[in-house]
Structure formats: C-alpha cells, structure tokens
Amino acid sequence: MSLEPQIAWMAILGFILPVALCLLVRFSSILQIFFPAGAFAVGAFLYLRYPILYLGFNWWIWFLSPFIARLVEYQNGIINPGMRFIILAPYLVTMLTAVTFFKHLPTLHRRGGIPFILAFVSIAYALLIGLAKGNAITDVVQGFLSWLPGVFMGVHLMVNWRSYPQLQSNTQRVFLWGILIMGIYGIYQYLVAPEWDSFWLRNADDLQLCCGWPEPRQIRVWSTLNFPFTFGYAMMACLLLSIGSRGPLIVPSVVVGFLSFLLSQVRGAWIGWAFGLFSFWVTLKPSLKVRVMMMFLIITVFLVPIVISTPLAEPVISRLQSFSDTKGDTSANERQEIYAQVLDSVLPELFGRGMGGKGIVDAGVLDVLATLGWLGLLPYLCGIVLIFFTLYGYRETRFDPFMNAARAILPSILITLPFNNALVLLPGILFWGFAGITIAAHKYYTYQRQLVEQQIPTDIQQGNFSK
C-alpha cells in the first residue's frame, strides 16, 4: 500500500508510533491525555487538508479507542477510571464535522438535509431540557455526545458528494480490514480471555451481566470495542458492507468476522443483520444477486465446519435455541418485565427527561421516548421517516452494491430499537453516517447523468457521432 500523501501519513504515523511505544514500554499513563489530544490534532489536520483520510482515521479511532483504554487501565492498575479520557477520542474526532454542519446549515434544507436538521433540533431540545432540569453536567455532556456526532457526520458525508468514489473506496477498505482485525481479536478474546480484558471485567461487576465472565470461553465477545452491544452493531454494519466488496481479503475477513459476530451473542444485531441482508437483496439487480450468492456459498463452506467442529459452537447454538425457547429465555423475559414496569411512567413524558436523565437499559424505544419526550421525539421521528422515504426512492442501489449495503444498514439498526437504543454511541454514528453517504451517492450519480445528457447534444452539434 502506498502511503500517499506523505505529509498526511507522517501525521498519522506520528500519532500511532508513540502510542504503540508507550504501550510497549509500559509508560502508558501519559496516554490518558496524549491519546485524545493527539487523535483530535491529527483528525483536525486531516479534516482540513485530506478529508478522505480523515474519514478512515475517524472509523479506526472508533474501532480501537476502547481497546487502548483497557490496555492503559490494566498497565496502570486503574480500577475505577472515572472519566475515561481515551474514550473521548472518537467523539472529539467526529465532532470536527460540526464545522461542516454549521457552515452549510443556511442552505442545508435545499440540499436534502432536512432529516438531519430535524434530528439536530430534537437533540438540542433534549440538551436544554437536561440543563433546565438540573441533570448532572457530566451526564448531560455524555448524553449529548452520545446522540449528536452521527448527525454531523451524516451531513459531512452528504455535502461532500463529489468525492463519493473516494469515500466509497476508503470506507470499504477500512471496514474490510476492520472485520478482519476485530474478528481475529474477538475469537482470541473468547478462547483466551486476555488479562487486560479480564482485569476490566473483574473490576466492573455490573458489566458481567452483559459481557460474561473473565474466563476463557465464558466471555460474550466485544473485541476491540467496549460492549458486546456496540461490537455486535459495528460488525453487523461491517458484514453488510462486505457484501458489495471484492478482493482476496473478503473470504477470510467475513469468516472470522462472522464467527466473532456470533460469539458476541447479541441477538438484536443478528436480527438486524438478517433484516439488512433482506433489504439489500430485494433491491439488487439479478446479475449482482448471482455474485452475492456465490460469495455466500464459498463463505458457508468455510464457516459451517468451523462452527460445528470447534469449541465456538456451544454458545452460538445455545443462543440460537433461545429464539424458540420463549419461556426459558431469561433476557427476553427480563426485557418484557422492563417494558411492563416502566411503560406507564414513560408514556406521559411530554417534555422528556433530557440529556443526562435516567436512561432505560434494554428497552431502546422507551429510552428514546424518555430522553426526548413526545415534543422532542416528533421532529426526530419525522426526520427518520423522511430519510427512509428519500433513500428508498433511489434506483441507483440496483447497480451499486456499496450504496445498497450502506442504505441497508439503516433498517438493520432501526429494527433493533426494541432491544437497545441503537441511535446513540457508535450505532448512531453508523445510522446517520451511512444515511449521509447514501444521499451522497445519489447526488453523485445524478450529477454524472446530467453531464452525459449535456454532452450528447454537444456531440450531435459538432458531428461527433462516433461517441
């Protein structure tokens, strides 16, 4: 791979190498400050000078920051980290796209950005409600950062539609490597239970309910991310995007990625992936359907024997059986109890609890309503409905598998809302970000058609019939 442009890669390597060195020599306490500050500085430089590399850098910071944080806490014996500054790094890097949002805000409504504006209005409203109700400032900021960056990222990708081919190529490459790296580490994490992951899990008792036990083959895989929930949704998006990719890495990446995806045991993400795959399949032209079928056949030939004949099979099969065992499904029964217990208290939330208010775990629909309230939910919901009507009117998805897969990520995330609030954190970045890149693809193809239509009359006038 050619490291061009050199100055951009000098900045990236100037960030990566000191981080790796600090971890290698166990002088990593400095990374609590250096990592988020360095990531923000490099992100700002790339955002201003090399926007395509900025996008890839942004995704990698999201994929790897939690892993770096766990290594630092393990090496320094940090049991109660408090404010985890390293985890702030991806939010800081993505929030750079706020510059794009506010720069184009005056004309955004004419450029297909109304859904993003409506979402921003709802989030800003929830911020004001959170402040007005006196919610803890740290909780307000945390909630605000959980909801907002994805909206900014979506607008940033949408308005840079002229660079769609480069955005497509960069995103496919990053997510394909992301599948491979996160997938391999996820399998290793399950089989070995590395000491830094076990240390983190042992010192966070509440996480053992969702992440398993700090023992080999007892972990619900979260790989380089921080929860099975976020890893499951990230891998779901990666696997959907891989459908439209080509190259020698496809088969090994998808095999290990799908194995780790299954080992996360996040049934909501499994359902979302199946729904997204259906959305992708039904709108694809027949010739591309054949290609996708062949790819899945090859992957299945490798995947099924590995699952059946290795220790990886037990948790996967057990989790799959829970779909039919409704009475013995503990987590599903607990979720039903949560809905039954809090439904009456959430439905009257006209104004909402705002950012930093008491959230509702394992009941995404109610968590959204509790945070935004009915007044805040209305514009947000209108934005989502509008974006679906817009995106599912695009015909270019029939011949562009990447665009089709990017669009399929949206319903795959939205259908999981009864399980978790998938509109925040990394899943929220994926939802709004891939909405933006799908709109960018449509704008790019529309422009190309206009160029062709303008060129034909010119050729006729000049007698260039050979064209």
Q: pLDDT digits over 166-219, tens only?
A: 999 999 999 999 999 999 999 999 999 999 999 998 887 667 668 888 999 999
Q: What is the pLDDT of residues 313-350, one digit of tens each?
A: 788 887 877 776 666 566 777 778 888 888 888 999 99
Q: Phi and psi at residue 259, in whole multiples of 5°?
A: -60, -50
pLDDT recorded at residue 327: 63
463 within a domain of the structure (yes/no)? no
pLDDT score of 391 more than 80: yes
Q: What is the pLDDT of residue 315?
A: 83
Q: Compute the average pLDDT of residues 117-139.
A: 97
Q: Does any domain span residue 292?
A: yes
Q: What is the pLDDT of residue 261?
A: 95
Dihedral (CA of 92, 229, 31, 202) sign? positive
Distance of CA 229 to the CA centre of its chain: 11
Non-local CB neighbours of 261 within 8 Å, separated by 6+ positions: 183, 186, 232, 235, 236, 239, 269, 270, 273
Instruction: Supply the pLDDT for residue 311.
Output: 76
Within a domain: residue 446? no
Any domain includes 451:
no
Angle between helices 286-309 and 250-263 in degrees, nearest 10:
60
Decide if pLDDT at 467 tops 50: no
Number of domains in the chain: 1
Average pLDDT, the chain: 91
What is the model's pLDDT at position 238?
94
What is the rounded distance in angstroms from the CA atom of residue 199 to the CA atom of residue 181?
Answer: 22
What is the per-residue pLDDT for 466?
Answer: 42
DSSP secondary-structure letter at 212? B
Give residue 321's pLDDT.
Answer: 77
- The answer to whether position 1 is within a domain reads no
**pLDDT tens digits for 34-75?**
999 999 999 999 999 999 999 999 999 999 999 999 999 999
pLDDT of 284 over the 80 cut: yes
The domain containing residue 363 runs over which residues? 6-441
Residue 77 has pLDDT above 60, yes or no: yes
State the average pLDDT over residues 19-25: 97
Residue 449 lies in a domain: no
Alpha-carbon separation of residue 77 from 26, 163, 215 (angstroms): 12, 45, 19
Would you call 217 exposed, middle or buried from its count of C-beta atoms within 10 A (0-12, 13-18, 19+)?
Answer: middle
Categorize the per-residue pLDDT at 454 as very low, low, confident or very high, splitting at 50, 70 and 90: confident
Indicate whether 448 belongs to any domain.
no
The pair of structure tokens assigned to 332 is 């599903």
pLDDT at position 413 over 60: yes
pLDDT tens, residue by residue, 221-266: 999 999 999 999 999 999 999 987 777 888 899 999 999 999 999 9
Q: List the structure tokens of 219.
A: 């972990």
Q: CB-based burial of residue 388 (10 Å sphere; 0-12 exposed, 13-18 middle, 19+ buried)?
A: middle
* pLDDT value, residue 350: 94
Which is more confidently placed, 121 or 226?
121
Q: What percent of the chain has pLDDT over 90?
A: 72
- The angle at the Cα of 381, spanning 375 to 386, to the nearest 5 degrees, equals 135
Which ranges of 349-424 would DSSP assign to H, the alpha helix? 364-391, 401-414
Residue 422 pLDDT level (bands cut at 50, 70, 90)? very high
- Region 150-164: mean pLDDT is 97
- Candidates 244, 261, 344, 331; CA nearest to 296 is 244
Find the farthest-apart pair of alpha carbons in the chain and give their distance in angstroms, rounded.
Answer: 77
The reported pLDDT for the residue numbered 344 is 85
Establish if 296 belongs to a structural domain. yes
Sign of torsion over alpha carbons 36, 38, 43, 44: positive
- Name the CA radius of gyration of the chain, rounded: 23
Q: What is the pLDDT of residue 15?
A: 98
461, pLDDT greater than 60: no
Is the pLDDT assigned to residue 293 strictly greater than 60?
A: yes
CA-CA distance, 283 to 289, in Å (whole number)?
Answer: 9
pLDDT (0 to 100) of residue 57: 98
